[in-house]
């Protein structure tokens, strides 16, 4: 109990210190916006009264000052945001479980995004951050925010090329050590994802010609997901009736239909999400009572997956 009180007191002290930095950064940004607005007004006034050159000269002063202030405060803002994640989020995670840690500048590796076979398209642009890892009894796990995109290019009649970016996935990918050993892969995707097996699996992992759709004994599961595997027996060994029910229950708590893969004795779960977690507010106070509500809610959700899917129950001697 004393340790919990001390932890909350230390967290409050950190928040009080960062609140001073936040106010300074917010006020500087506001000053920059005012200077940029003043630049536009001066330029418009010069155009309106016919003194264009004078208007351009006069607007340069607030513009230059605003730009210099903006770039200087950007460095302070980056430090502030990193301190928030490391010191505030990092300390708050300990209230959930002592093993939980956050590494803001690390994420879910691109090579693992591809090898997980959760998605059929390799990304052309990939961003990941805020890796959180921990141990729930016997099961180690980690998760991170991911935004993966692919591009399409089109040439117009003049020969100019335009690029359009499309989302492959945006959300959180969760990885846990699975409680059974297996040497093939099984993929569970939303029913509306598509049925192209050949576009599904990575060539370096699967024998595409031997991959099959697995018909399972849970009608609700088959109505929600389509399951692929190169080994029907092992797919059923992994997807027991109890696990299918737990995956359905987990899916019902998610904002979008989840995707799941079982490969290399690991379980991967992709949760589509639009919200960007673990970000420090700039123009809102750090001292609000509900400051960490959304962030800690998603961490608890991820932490509880181990119990939700009964991953601590080890099967056939796996430890």
Does 316 map to a domain? Answer: no
How far CA 216 is from CA of 9, 12, 110, 131, 221, in Å, comes to 52, 51, 31, 34, 8
Residue 234 lies inside a defined structural domain of this protein: yes
Query: Do 77 and 145 fall into the same domain?
Result: no
Domain boundary (96, 119, 137) is at: 96
Average the pLDDT over 15-41 and give the result.
92
Q: How confident is the model at residue 51 (pLDDT cuts 50, 70, 90)?
A: low
Residues 157, 255, single domain; the answer is yes
Under the banding of pLDDT at 50, 70 and 90, the label for residue 315 is low
Residue 175 within a domain: yes
| Side-chain half-sphere exposure of 302, counting CA atoms within 13 A | 32
Among 45, 68, 96, the domain boundary falls at 96
Instruction: Examine the domain organization and report whether 151 and 180 are in the same domain.
Output: yes
Residue indicated by tokens 């181990």: 306
The segment with the largest mean pLDDT, out of 131-135, 162-166, 182-186, 237-241, is 131-135
Cβ-count burial 302-315 (b if 16+ within 10 Å, e if not): bbebbeebebeeee
Predicted confidence (pLDDT) per residue in 251-305, tens digit: 998 888 899 999 888 999 999 998 899 999 999 999 998 999 999 999 999 999 9
In a domain, 189, yes or no: yes
Question: Model confidence at 181, in pLDDT bands (50, 70, 90)?
Answer: confident
- Whether residues 90 and 106 fall in one domain: no
Domain encompassing residue 70: 2-96
Mean pLDDT score of the chain:
85
Q: Are residues 106 and 81 in the same domain?
A: no
Cα(240)–Cα(255) distance, rounded to whole angstroms?
24
Q: DSSP characters for the chain?
A: -HHHHHHHHHHHHHHHHHHHHHHHHHHHHHHHHHHHHHHHHHHHHHHHHT-HHHHHHHHHHHHHHHHHHHHHHHHHHHHHHHHIIIIIIHHHHHHH-TT-EEETT----HHHHHHTTS-SS--SEEEEEEEEEEEETTEEEEEEEEEEEEEEEEE-TTS-EEEEEEEEEEEEEEEEE-SS--SS-EEEEEGGG---STTTS-TTT--GGG-EEPP-S-HHHHHHEEEEES-HHHHHHHS-HHHHHHHHHHHHTSSS--EEEEETTEEEEEEE-----SPPPSSS-TT-TTTTHHHHHHHHHHHHHHHHTTTTS--TT--
Q: In this structure, are strands 212-213 and 101-103 parallel, antiparallel, or unpaired?
A: unpaired
For the entire predicted model, the pTM comes to: 0.84
Examine the domain organization and report whether 17 and 138 are in the same domain.
no
**Predicted local confidence at residue 188, as pLDDT:** 93
Asked, for residue 313, whether it belongs to a domain, the answer is no
| pLDDT at position 203 | 39
Domain match, 245 and 149 both = yes
Query: Does 148 fall in a domain?
Result: yes
On the question of pLDDT at 317 being above 60, the answer is no
Q: What is the crossing angle of helices 2-49 and 52-83, to 10°?
A: 170
Q: Is the separation of the CB atoms in 311 and 175 below 8 Å?
A: no
Selected residue with higher pLDDT from 300 and 317: 300
Domain count, the chain: 2
């Amino acid at each position: 109990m004393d340790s919990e009180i001390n932890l909350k007191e230390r967290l409050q002290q950190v928040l009080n210190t960062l609140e001073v930095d936040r106010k300074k950064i917010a006020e500087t940004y506001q000053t920059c916006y005012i200077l940029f607005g003043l630049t536009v007004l001066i330029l418009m006034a010069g155009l309106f009264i016919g003194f264009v050159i004078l208007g351009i000269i006069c607007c340069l002063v607030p513009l230059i000052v605003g730009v210099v202030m903006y770039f200087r405060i950007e460095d302070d803002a980056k430090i502030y945001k990193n301190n928030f994640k490391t010191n505030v989020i990092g300390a708050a995670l300990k209230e959930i479980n002592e093993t939980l840690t956050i590494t803001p500048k690390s994420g879910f590796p691109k090579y693992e995004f591809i090898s997980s076979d959760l998605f059929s398209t390799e990304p052309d642009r990939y961003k990941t951050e805020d890796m959180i890892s921990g141990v729930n009894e016997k099961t180690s796990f980690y998760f991170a925010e991911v935004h993966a995109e692919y591009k399409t290019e089109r040439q117009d009649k003049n020969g100019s090329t335009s690029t359009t970016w499309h989302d492959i996935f945006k959300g959180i990918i969760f990885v846990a050590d699975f409680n059974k050993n297996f040497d093939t892969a099984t993929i569970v995707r939303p029913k509306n994802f598509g049925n192209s097996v050949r576009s599904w699996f990575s060539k370096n992992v699967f024998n595409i010609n031997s991959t099959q759709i697995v018909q399972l004994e849970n009608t609700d599961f088959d109505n929600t997901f389509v399951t692929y595997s190169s080994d029907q027996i092992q797919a059923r060994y992994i997807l027991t009736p109890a696990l299918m029910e737990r995956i359905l229950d987990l899916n019902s708590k998610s904002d979008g239909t989840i995707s799941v893969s079982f490969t290399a004795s690991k379980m991967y779960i992709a949760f589509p999400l639009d919200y960007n977690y673990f970000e420090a507010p700039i123009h809102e106070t750090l001292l609000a009572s509900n400051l960490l509500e959304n962030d800690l809610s998603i961490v608890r959700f991820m932490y509880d997956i181990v119990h939700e899917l009964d991953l601590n129950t080890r099967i056939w001697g796996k430890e």
